[in-house]
Amino acid sequence: MRFVVKLGGAGLENPKLLHACGKAIADLVADGNQVAVVHGGGVQLTRTLAQLGKKSEFISGLRVTDAETRDAAIMVLAGRVNKSLVASLGTHGQSAVGLSGGDGHVFRARKKKTNPDLGFVGEIASADSRWLEAIWTMGAVPVISSIALGFDGEYYNINADEMAAACAISTKADALVFLTDVPGVKGADGSVMRWLTLGEIPALEKQQVISGGMLPKLNACREALLHGVKRVRILPAESAVFLPDLCSTRVNDGTEVMVA
Q: How many other C-beta atoms lie within 10 A of the C-beta of residue 116? A: 7
Q: Is 104 left (phi over 0), alpha (psi -120 to 50) or beta?
A: left
Q: Which of 21, 18, 38, 10 is nearest to 224 (CA)?
A: 38
Is 157 marked within a binding site? Answer: yes
DSSP string computed for 114-155: -SS--BSEEEEEEE-THHHHHHHHTT-EEEEESEEEETTS-E
Is 115 marked within a binding site? Answer: no
Q: Is 241 helix (H, G, I), strand (E, B) or coil?
A: helix
> How far apart (Å, rounded) are the C-alpha atoms in residues 17 and 150?
33
Is 63 marked within a binding site? Answer: yes
> How far apart (Å, rounded) are the C-alpha atoms in residues 5 and 161?
10
Q: What's the burial of 174, exposed, middle or buried (CB within 10 Å: 0-12/13-18/19+)?
A: middle
> How far apart (Å, rounded) are the C-alpha atoms in residues 84 and 89?
9
Q: Residues near 244 by Cβ (< 8 Å), separated by ≥ 6? A: 24, 27, 28, 31
Q: Which residues in 34-57 are b (16+ Cβ under 10 Å) and which e?
A: bbbbbbbbbbbbbebbeeeeeeee
Q: Which of 177, 178, 179, 166 is nearest to 227 (CA)?
A: 166
Strands 155-158 and 121-127: parallel
Question: Per the annotation, where are the binding residues?
Answer: 41-42, 63, 157
User: Which residue positions form the known binding site for substrate?
Assistant: 41-42, 63, 157
